[in-house]
Amino acid sequence: MSHDHSHEAHGHAHVHHHEENFITKYVFSQDHKMIAKQFLITGIVMGVLGMLMSMVFRLQLGFPDMDMAFLKPFLGKWISVDDTTGFGKLDPNFYLALITIHGTIMVFFVLTAGLSGTFSNLLIPLQCGARDMASPFLNMLSYWFFFLSSLVMFCSLFVEDGPASPGWTVYPPLSALPKALPGSGTGMTLWLISMIFFIVSALLGGMNYITTVLNMRTKGMKMSRMPLTIWAFLLTAVLGLLSFPVLFGGSLLLVMDRSFGTSFYLSDIPVELTGGIERTGGSPVLFQHLFWFLGHPEVYIILMPALGITSEVIATNSRKPIFGYRAMIISLLGIAFLSFIVWAHHMFITGMNPFLGSVFMVTTLIIAVPSAVKTFNYLTTLWRGNIQFTPAMMFAIGLVSFFIAGGLTGIFLGNAALDINLHDTYFVVAHFHIVMGSAAIFGMFSGIYHWFPKLFRRHMNKAAGYVHFWLTFISAYGVFFPMHFIGLAGVPRRYYANTAYESFDVWMDVNQFITICALLGGLAQVIFLINFFYSIRKGRKSEQNPWKSNTLEWTAPVEHLHGNWPGEIPTVYRWPYDYSNPNYTEDFVPQNVPHEGQTDENQEFEHPHPTT
Amino acid sequence: MSTETTALKKTKSIWAGGFSPFNVSYGKLMMWIFLLSDAFTFSSLLVAYGTIRFSHPSPPHGQVVIEGQTIKPLGHVPEKFVELLGETKNTEGITYFSKQHWPSPELVFNHFPGLHGLHLPLFFVSLMTFILIFSSVTMVLAVEAGHRMDQNSVRKYMFYTILGGLAFLSCQAWEWTQFITEGASLHGNPFGPTAFAALFFIVTGFHGFHVFSGVVLNFIIYLNTINGTYAKRGHYEMIEKVGLYWHFVDLVWVFVFTFFYLI
């Protein structure tokens, strides 16, 4: 009898919860927290893919005489094995494909969608005090376009002639003439299709982020009280929204050149490459202009969310207000504006007018000013702080280190005269891998460790986090620091092997060192992956505000509710960096706590300096 | 929790949170943001146009003087042009087109349906522009009627707007057909550099695609108006949102027109 009853109760419970089934909850979810997780996991999967590719080409560069037959099961015909000796070599064309897809995946799929997609989705509604994004439906579409784009890029790896291989910047004519390289054929077409889906995703996401920040802040959340993360995400979205369409236009013309016989980017092409049609009148430099009009803001699309995350993590874990809150906002605005007028510093040696080169050199060097403001503000926030060395904090400090180290070489490269020597050498590779690659990925790790309790209601393992940090930090410098010297010696990037030239061959021992560091770095990520996926299920349970932080996301319950707060959305009474306020006994005062005697949320109070 | 510093000032700004700073719904804000983004797409194409246009020399004689109707119908010119000197001259020896020079648009687009053989520079494209601007006017009237909750007027003006959009698309189809019949394609142009035709097809095509999407959207909200969806909802904001898009497409045409036909 009671047995029957329990069955009935069970069925009854199901009826109550039927509005959320597996599909609507985990797959086509419109909840911003779930979409954030989807972006994160997809980003991590793509990141692993991109990392594995770099391992393969690092092996080739460090040990060009190595037997690669053991990779045959994974890479198939891209490893040519000698029948008699059984010795395996990496196919040179596949090497080009590897560097192209590694760049594309890391720049767009991991550090654009994986970073800004994850944390904009998670934090914008939670830190602004909104129930969800402005349009949850478009938000869902944004993820699925990204997924489709990732899928197409992934599938392009299995094309007969190999994936796209003209480098991640896909300069014509290599990218415009299907016969130019094996990877200029179907692989390149799929690359363009994938990017068009990606741009649609970025557009839908960006529209949502901007609208939510502008329109849906809770009461009292003035622009001058927004956490710096939100400022960074807002400006990132603006950058994406204004620069991705230009890549769209550029890609459209490239598709036309590839498939419909136009010559926008082609001039004086030998007839045997074009199938008899005359291809003339266009300009390959035009593509570079259009590409870098996206390409340079893209650097800041990658970096700014990481900088925003770092501001938040450093202030929280120094138990001090961020130093120069307004200066931080102004420098973000400055970086965002300047990022649109520096693009031609990627093109100094294209034959551009040298006067134009010096104009772009000046704007480029000006970017050092807001960047330095940010760096010094991080350092002064840390200064005499009560620093909590959580894994997130370690990664945030790591970001500052990379931002300085990579920023300094930016001053060399921004110089039009020096660029004649340094262009397309390993010096460039070292520069951008430190300043936007390592710095941004450290920002992403920092964000993952810091907001993991918000995403998955559990903590990641701290000890594994420290091991992950130190191994990654040491190996990242081990990989990219020596590249400066190789680059200064003139070793060009993108070469399959440097053994044919005496002056490049002498660097072989350094290349081996780099490869060993890269393998060590890869190993460190295995620790991270185990920690990440293990902690999702088995991690230590988190309390509501584990870092004693001020921002609104920590006022929401640990359980994920649709709508974020069970009752009314909290009202904001103060700025987000009230740490170690001498007027309070606790060393943090959340944004939703009113000042003593505050009658309405718009009243402003002074921010007292913490007693140090 | 001892002595708090005193309040500095009491400010109430539109950015204070809790409501939209521009006093617009999220949908309308998103439409504005989308249009801003789309403006950059068109800009990139027009920048490409500008770059390629000015890498070629201007038409041989700048503004070629046309004396009345005496010139030959241009439909016959191309074959001669290709075969002979790489130049096209009229009977008096004035050069019209050459392989090197960017063609004069008023000599390329000088046809009008039903008036075969007449030299009517840019008459037809002016008519197209007029039609599109007129459809923007009817769109404004539809939005205004929506504010008055006047379902019948909204329906009427939306109908005219759709009609205007379709008329524009039909005109464009005719213009393309004419140009293609004369031998233009994505990889060939009898009037001069290939890029002229390729850019013409891409940019007007991309704009035409926007107009087509606009007509589809207009048709959907027209049906919704007839069904009384907006009357039930209590406001006609959807008309405003689609209206913004429609005006944008119209504005873009003004730039496309300027670049391709006037410069």
The CA–CA distances, whole Å, from A168 to A104, A186, A236 equal: 5, 16, 21
Are A192 and A255 in contact by the 8 Å Cβ rule? The answer is yes
The CA–CA distances, whole Å, from A43 to A51, A168, A256, A428, A525 equal: 12, 18, 30, 25, 14
For residues A186-216, one letter each, b for 16 or more C-beta atoms within 10 angstroms of the residue's C-beta and e for the rest, the string is: bbbbbbbbbbbbbbbbbbbbbbbbbbbbbbb
Average pLDDT over residues A416-437: 95
pLDDT-derived band at B70 (thresholds 50, 70, 90) equals: very low
Which of A139, A199, A200, A215 has the highest number of chain B CBs within 10 A, making it the mutation to test binding with B? A215
Q: How far is A403 from chain B (nearest CA, A)?
A: 30
Q: How far is B31 from chain A (nearest CA, A)?
A: 9
Are A286 and B48 in contact by the 8 Å Cβ rule? The answer is yes
Q: Which of B16, B36, B41 has the CB atom closest to A602's CB atom?
A: B16
Over residues A34-47, the pLDDT tens digits come to 999 999 999 999 99
Q: Is the pLDDT of residue B91 over 50?
A: no
Q: Dihedral, CA atoms, A576, A579, A582, A583, nearest 10 degrees?
A: 40
Give phi and psi for B62, each to the nearest 5.
Answer: 60, -125
Over residues A305-355, the pLDDT tens digits come to 999 999 999 999 999 999 999 999 999 999 999 999 999 999 999 988 889
Nearest CA in chain A to B199: A264
Helix (H, G, I), strand (E, B) or coil at A362: helix
Place of tokens 């031609």: A344
Query: A34-48, A248-262, A421-435, B106-120: lowest mean pLDDT where?
Result: B106-120
pLDDT of residue A352: 87
Over residues A514-535, the pLDDT tens digits come to 999 999 999 999 999 999 999 9
Q: Whole-angstrom Cα distance, residue A222 to residue A225?
A: 5
Residues 40-59 of B with CB under 8 A from A: 40-45, 47-48, 51-52, 55-56
Inspect the interface and report whether the beta carbons of A215 and B16 lie closer than 8 Å: no
Ramachandran sector of residue B95 (left: φ over 0; alpha: ψ -120 to 50; beta: rest): beta
Taking Cα atoms as reference points, which of B88, B95, B217 lies closest to residue B165? B217
Question: What is the length of chain B?
Answer: 263
Q: Whole-angstrom Cα distance, residue A203 to residue A536?
A: 30
Residues 90-109 of A with CB under 8 A from B: none
Helix (H, G, I), strand (E, B) or coil at A218: coil
pLDDT of residue A607: 79
Q: Is the pLDDT of residue A612 over 60?
A: no
Q: Is the pLDDT of residue B132 over 80?
A: yes
Give the residue extent of every domain in chain B: 26-57+105-262
* Topology, domain A35-53+92-282: Cytochrome C Oxidase; Chain A (1.20.210)
pLDDT of residue B76: 36
CB contacts of A598 in chain B (<8 Å) are 7
- CB of A199 within 8 Å of a chain B CB? The answer is no
Q: Which of B1, B37, B41 has the CB atom closest to A585's CB atom?
A: B1
Q: If one looks up domain B26-57+105-262 in CATH, what number appears?
A: 1.20.120.80
Q: Is the pLDDT of residue A537 over 60?
A: yes
* CATH label, A305-541, candidates 1.20.210.10, 3.40.50.11890, 3.40.1190.20, 2.60.120.20: 1.20.210.10
Q: Is the dihedral of CA B173, A257, A197, A130 positive or negative?
A: negative
Inspect the interface and report whether the beta carbons of B7 and A605 lie closer than 8 Å: yes
Complete DSSP assignment for A429-478: HHHHIIIIIIHHHHHHHHHHHHHHHHHHSBPPPHHHHHHHHHHHHHHHHH
Residue A400: both structure tokens together: 């500052």
Average pLDDT over residues A54-77: 93
Over residues A161-197, the pLDDT tens digits come to 999 999 999 999 999 998 888 889 999 999 999 999 9
Inspect the interface and report whether the beta carbons of B7 and A242 lie closer than 8 Å: no
Angle at the Cα of A207 (from B19 to B13), degrees rounded to 5? 25
Q: Is the pLDDT of residue B174 over 70?
A: yes
CB contacts of B55 in chain A (<8 Å) are 281, 283
Are A460 and A531 in contact by the 8 Å Cβ rule? The answer is yes
Taking Cα atoms as reference points, which of B211, B260, B214 lies closest to residue B239? B214
Taking Cα atoms as reference points, which of A239, A219, A373, A223 lies closest to residue A311? A373
Higher pLDDT, B3 or A140: A140
pLDDT of residue A571: 94
pLDDT of residue B94: 52
Inspect the interface and report whether the beta carbons of A252 and B1 lie closer than 8 Å: no
Which of A264, A271, A329, A603 has the highest number of chain B CBs within 10 A, making it the mutation to test binding with B? A264
Q: Is the ipTM of this complex over 0.85?
A: yes
Inspect the interface and report whether the beta carbons of B43 and A606 lie closer than 8 Å: no
Q: Whole-angstrom Cα distance, residue A320 to residue A493?
A: 43
Average pLDDT over residues B105-133: 86
Burial class (CB within 10 angstroms; exposed 0-12, middle 13-18, buried 19+) of A395: buried
Angle at the Cα of A355 (from A350 to A356), degrees rounded to 5? 60
Q: Whole-angstrom Cα distance, residue A327 to residue A408?
A: 21
- CB of A232 within 8 Å of a chain B CB? The answer is no
* Report field, pTM of the whole predicted structure over 0.80: yes
Place of tokens 């560069």: A61
Inspect the interface and report whether the beta carbons of B37 and A206 lie closer than 8 Å: yes
Higher pLDDT, B28 or A13: B28
Query: A97-111, A462-476, B82-96: lowest mean pLDDT where?
Result: B82-96
Q: Is the pLDDT of residue A8 over 80?
A: no
Inspect the interface and report whether the beta carbons of A214 and B9 lie closer than 8 Å: no
pLDDT of residue A5: 43
The CB density around residue B120, as the number of other CB atoms within 10 Å, is 14
Nearest CA in chain A to B194: A281
Over residues B20-66, the pLDDT tens digits come to 888 889 999 999 999 999 999 999 999 999 999 988 887 655 444 34
- CB of A382 within 8 Å of a chain B CB? The answer is no
Average pLDDT over residues A207-236: 95
A35-53+92-282 and A305-541: identical CATH topology: yes
pLDDT of residue B80: 38
Q: How far is A295 from chain B (nearest CA, A)?
A: 14
Inspect the interface and report whether the beta carbons of A583 and B1 lie closer than 8 Å: yes
The CB density around residue A135, as the number of other CB atoms within 10 Å, is 19
Inspect the interface and report whether the beta carbons of A604 and B202 lie closer than 8 Å: no
pLDDT of residue A20: 73
Ramachandran sector of residue B57 (left: φ over 0; alpha: ψ -120 to 50; beta: rest): beta
- CB of A242 within 8 Å of a chain B CB? The answer is yes
The CA–CA distances, whole Å, from A177 to A156, A159, A170 equal: 18, 17, 11
Q: How far is B91 from chain A (nearest CA, A)?
A: 30
Q: Is the pLDDT of residue A609 over 90?
A: no
Nearest CA in chain B to A130: B18
Q: Whole-angstrom Cα distance, residue B88 to residue B98?
A: 6
Nearest CA in chain A to B21: A215
Q: Whole-angstrom Cα distance, residue A234 to residue A119?
A: 12
- CB of A360 within 8 Å of a chain B CB? The answer is no
Query: A123-127, A415-419, A500-504, B61-65: lowest mean pLDDT where?
Result: B61-65
Taking Cα atoms as reference points, which of A267, A80, A301 lies closest to residue B56? A267
Give the residue extent of every domain in chain A: 35-53+92-282, 305-541, 548-604
Task: Return mean pLDDT, chain A.
Answer: 92
pLDDT-derived band at B5 (thresholds 50, 70, 90) equals: low
Taking Cα atoms as reference points, which of A202, A173, A19 lies closest to residue A107? A202
Which of A207, A294, A584 has the highest number of chain B CBs within 10 A, making it the mutation to test binding with B? A207
Q: Is the pLDDT of residue B18 over 90?
A: no
Amino acid at B27: G
Average pLDDT over residues B223-230: 95
Q: How is residue A89 annotated by DSSP? A: E
Q: Is the pLDDT of residue A2 over 50?
A: no
- CB of B180 within 8 Å of a chain A CB? The answer is no
Q: How far is A282 from chain B (nearest CA, A)?
A: 7
Helix (H, G, I), strand (E, B) or coil at A425: strand
pLDDT of residue A15: 40
The CB density around residue B112, as the number of other CB atoms within 10 Å, is 15
Q: Percent of chain A, pLDDT > 70?
A: 96
Amino acid at B103: P
Over residues A18-29, the pLDDT tens digits come to 467 888 888 889
pLDDT-derived band at B260 (thresholds 50, 70, 90) equals: confident
Cβ-based neighbours of A584, under 8 Å, separated by 6 or more:
A578, B1
pLDDT of residue B82: 36
- CB of A215 within 8 Å of a chain B CB? The answer is yes
Q: Whole-angstrom Cα distance, residue B11 to residue A223?
A: 13
Cβ-based neighbours of B12, under 8 Å, separated by 6 or more:
A602
Which of B6, B22, B33 has the highest number of chain A CBs within 10 A, making it the mutation to test binding with A? B33
Q: Whole-angstrom Cα distance, residue A608 to residue B11?
A: 20
pLDDT-derived band at A70 (thresholds 50, 70, 90) equals: very high
Q: Whole-angstrom Cα distance, residue B241 to residue B54?
A: 37
Residues 521-540 of A with CB under 8 A from B: none
- CB of A241 within 8 Å of a chain B CB? The answer is yes
Ramachandran sector of residue B5 (left: φ over 0; alpha: ψ -120 to 50; beta: rest): beta
- CB of B194 within 8 Å of a chain A CB? The answer is yes
pLDDT of residue B161: 97
CB contacts of A125 in chain B (<8 Å) are none
The CA–CA distances, whole Å, from A464 to A270, A393, A458 equal: 57, 14, 15
Which of A200, A246, A578 has the highest number of chain B CBs within 10 A, making it the mutation to test binding with B? A246
Place of tokens 């939100």: A230
CB contacts of A608 in chain B (<8 Å) are 5
The CA–CA distances, whole Å, from B169 to A230, B128, B129 equal: 43, 9, 11
Helix (H, G, I), strand (E, B) or coil at A338: helix
Amino acid at B146: G
Give phi and psi for B95, each to the nearest 5.
Answer: -75, 130
Angle at the Cα of A189 (from A188 to A193), degrees rounded to 5? 115
Q: Which of A207, A218, A256 has the CB atom closest to B18's CB atom?
A: A218
Q: How far is A127 from chain B (nearest CA, A)?
A: 12
Which of B22, B40, B42, B259 has the highest number of chain A CBs within 10 A, making it the mutation to test binding with A? B40
Amino acid at B259: F
Q: Which of A220, A242, A283 has the CB atom closest to B17's CB atom?
A: A220
Average pLDDT over residues A206-211: 96
Q: Whole-angstrom Cα distance, residue B92 to residue B81?
A: 16
Are A44 and A447 in contact by the 8 Å Cβ rule? The answer is no
Query: A187-201, A230-244, B55-69, B91-105: lowest mean pLDDT where?
Result: B55-69
